[in-house]
Amino acid sequence: MEIRAFQKKIEDIYFERDSARGLDGTYMWFAEEVGELTRALRRDDREELEGEFADVFAWLSTLASMAEIDLEEAVRNKYEAGCPRCVATPCACG
């Protein structure tokens, strides 16, 4: 699935509810999911990690949609040429 398609799917599922909660409240849910990812990383459970990475990406997508940011475009604009500072791949910033 392309990033834009995923972001649209998350909008279709959650945007109305997340928008009603507002950007600040939705960010708090995102932060909680990052905490769950942290715990999963410590446990090193592959299945749990996949679920938590997906959840964090879904909440990030919701936040981007609420802020009217196209994640696919944002990622392309920032990283397509390589490292944003040195423009190298791999990064040569040191």
Which residues of the chain, if any, have pLDDT below 50? none
Query: What is the model's pLDDT at position 94?
Result: 80
CATH topology of domain 3-79: Helix Hairpins (1.10.287)
| Each residue's pLDDT tens digit, 56-75 | 999 999 999 999 999 999 99
- Extents of the domains making up the chain: 3-79
The b-or-e profile of 3-40 (16+ CB within 10 A means b, else e) is: beebbbebbeebbeebeeeeeeebeeebeebeeebeeb
Query: What is the model's pLDDT at position 65?
Result: 98
Query: What is the model's pLDDT at position 25?
Result: 97
Mean pLDDT over each residue of the chain, to the nearest integer: 97
